């Protein structure tokens, strides 16, 4: 894309790297623009840990802001980072999806991508895991894939999804993208990832954003858990509590409920969900 070189030269966002330094980011953006502008059905596919949930929620909020036709699906197994063929055939296909965007998974889903091709569904894989061998034949944005020279390799699902959203925001000239770092900070801290480089920048800025967040779900979790002093320690504890509630015996339902928490536009509903999740801690 022509805008790619221009943005690499002019990019400056909180000291982070330009998202277009990630291999295939230009191709991913081009396909997303087409889907948004043509009102194609987009399905976001994520995992049911907090890193995956915040990633799905972030991408949902950004695409909904652009008035995209978007839905999501959360995998029902913890630590399962492959796309499931039965979900594609029994759920996503019937939604009329034209584009799937993964959030932190799919780098090893070779046969599943072929299935999507046969069904006429395009796929953008965003993942941070290393490939076990042959790469799926589709658009892949992964700092740990071969030939990707992106200088920071420790992005989690939430961090990488934010890089994708940065690219989208640059094209659509969205001025509000930084406010979503509240979700990104929760996702990164839940992974107990290395807090250096871009992770450190996103966590620090995310914690700052949490103090002033307009996300009803985040505000409700702070209120219900009596967190008045927002810092890295208190947010680490909050992310840990949320992981405990999600991993309860009903964790797949709790994962979907947590997505609703982060995307709701109703404060009363947010507080209701936050109280429910607090009671789910075992």
pLDDT single digits (tens) 223-256: 999 999 999 999 999 999 998 888 776 667 889 9
Which domains are assigned to the chain? 2-207 (3.90.1640.30)
pLDDT for residue 12: 55
pLDDT single digits (tens) 157-198: 999 999 999 999 999 999 889 999 999 999 999 988 788 999
pLDDT single digits (tens) 10-19: 445 677 899 9
pLDDT for residue 249: 62
Q: Phi/psi at 12 (nearest 5 deg)?
A: -160, 105
**pLDDT greater than 90 at residue 36:** yes
pLDDT single digits (tens) 255-279: 999 999 999 999 999 999 999 999 8
pLDDT single digits (tens) 98-146: 999 999 999 999 999 999 999 999 999 999 999 988 899 999 999 999 8
pLDDT for residue 252: 72
pLDDT for residue 80: 78
Euclidean distance between the first and final Cα of the chain, in Å? 50
| Nearest-10 crossing angle of helices 216-224, 181-190 | 50
pLDDT for residue 251: 67
Average pLDDT over the chain reads 91
């Amino acid at each position: 894309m022509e805008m790619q070189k221009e943005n690499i030269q002019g990019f400056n966002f909180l000291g982070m790297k330009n998202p277009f330094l990630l291999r295939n980011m230009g191709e991913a953006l081009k396909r997303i623009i087409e889907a948004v502008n043509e009102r194609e059905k987009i399905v976001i596919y994520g995992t049911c840990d907090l890193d995956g949930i915040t990633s799905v929620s972030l991408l949902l909020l950004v695409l909904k802001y652009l008035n995209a036709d978007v839905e999501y699906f959360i995998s029902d197994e913890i630590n399962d980072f492959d796309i499931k063929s039965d979900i594609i055939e029994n759920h996503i296909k019937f939604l009329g999806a034209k584009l799937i965007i993964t959030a932190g998974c799919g780098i090893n889903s070779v046969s599943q991508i072929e299935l999507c091709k046969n069904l006429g569904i395009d796929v953008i894989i965003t993942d941070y895991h290393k490939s076990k061998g042959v790469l799926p034949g589709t658009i892949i944005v992964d700092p740990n894939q071969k030939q990707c020279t992106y200088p920071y390799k420790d992005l989690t699902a939430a961090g990488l999804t934010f890089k994708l959203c940065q690219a989208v925001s640059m094209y659509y000239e969205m001025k509000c993208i930084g406010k979503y770092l509240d979700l990104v900070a929760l996702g990164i801290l839940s992974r107990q990832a290395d807090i250096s480089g871009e992770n450190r920048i996103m966590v620090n800025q995310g914690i700052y954003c949490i103090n002033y967040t307009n996300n009803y779900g985040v505000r409700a979790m702070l209120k219900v858990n009596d967190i008045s002093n927002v810092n890295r320690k208190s947010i680490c504890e909050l992310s840990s509590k949320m992981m405990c509630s999600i991993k309860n015996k009903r964790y797949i339902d709790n994962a979907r409920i947590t997505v609703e928490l982060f995307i709701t536009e109703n404060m009363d509903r947010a507080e209701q969900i936050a109280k429910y999740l607090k009671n789910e801690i075992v």
